[in-house]
Structure 1
Amino acid sequence: MTMKKIVLKVELHGERTKQKAMKTTSGISGVESVNMDMKDKKLTVTGDIDPVKVVEKLRKLCHTEIVSVGEAKESDKKAEEKIENIAKAIVPALSSYSHVYYPQPPYYVGTVEEYPNSGCVIC
């Protein structure tokens, strides 16, 4: 299957229903991104998915209709890659942190044979 962009019209009646719809949609295998427009009540799902399965899952929560199904644009993928690259650039590299190493003092255990008069009671 190829990357698809699915636009759905959903009848959401509150913030809680919106959260449930987002969680349900993002839990479907193959979903790359989920975007909700509350003003137009449209849910945009991008990924390697079957539109019928997405609608089937969402209809358990609210009334759902398919508005459009098409191939995802390459610019969407490139925009996501740019965002990931920016996020990597913002996070400092771990090698830049200084690490102080405190060595452990030497630890030696002697045996009874080495120290016969050490006062061992367990003999």
Structure 2
Amino acid sequence: MKKLVLTVNVRDAKEKSKAMQAVSRFHGIGSLNMDMKDKKLTVSGDFDPVKVVNKLRKSWHTEIVSVGPAKEDDGKKNEDQVVKAYPGYYPTPHTNYYMPYMPYMPYYEETPNCVIC
């Protein structure tokens, strides 16, 4: 279990939601907590911190505050601010997310000079 604390430069609740959604898709994320006052994102679980930081740096200015082993929580966190990651939320390798092939069929209006009609 690892604990990663990041400073993510998000401006509002919509960007906060997008950042948390981007991180929650990684395999092994246990919990997420974002403090908007300090703009600190805390991620804990069994995950690769490099992948998480690289994903966030694509869209937001992100700095690493600390990386280390996760300590056991003493129950002081507010459960409204903690988002538990859904284990089946991330895309799995056997799932096909491609759109089905739909051939283009142009619409032809009836013409008065039609020989076949």
Task: Give the alignment's TM-score, normalised by structure 2.
Answer: 0.61
SS at match of 1:67: strand
Alignment RMSD (CA, Å):
1.5
Deviation at 1:51, TM superposition (A): 1.2
Number of aligned positions between the proteins:
76
Does residue 35 (structure 1) correspond to residue 59 (structure 2)? The answer is: no
In the alignment, structure 2 segments of 5+ residues that lack a partner are: 80-117
SS at match of 1:16: helix
In our comparison, the structure showing a higher alpha carbon Rg is 1
- Higher RCO structure, 1 or 2 (CA under 8 Å, sep 6+): 2
Q: Look up the match of 2:11.
A: 13
Q: Look up the match of 2:20.
A: 22
Ranges of 4+ aligned residues in structure 1 off by more than 6 Å: none
Task: Give the alignment's TM-score, normalised by structure 1.
Answer: 0.58
Q: Give the distance between the partners of 1:61 and 1:18, measured in 2 at CA.
A: 12
Deviation at 1:22, TM superposition (A): 0.6
In the alignment, structure 1 segments of 5+ residues that lack a partner are: 84-123
Write 1 or 2 for the structure with the bigger share of helix: 1
Q: Give the distance between the partners of 2:66 and 2:11, measured in 1 at CA.
A: 22
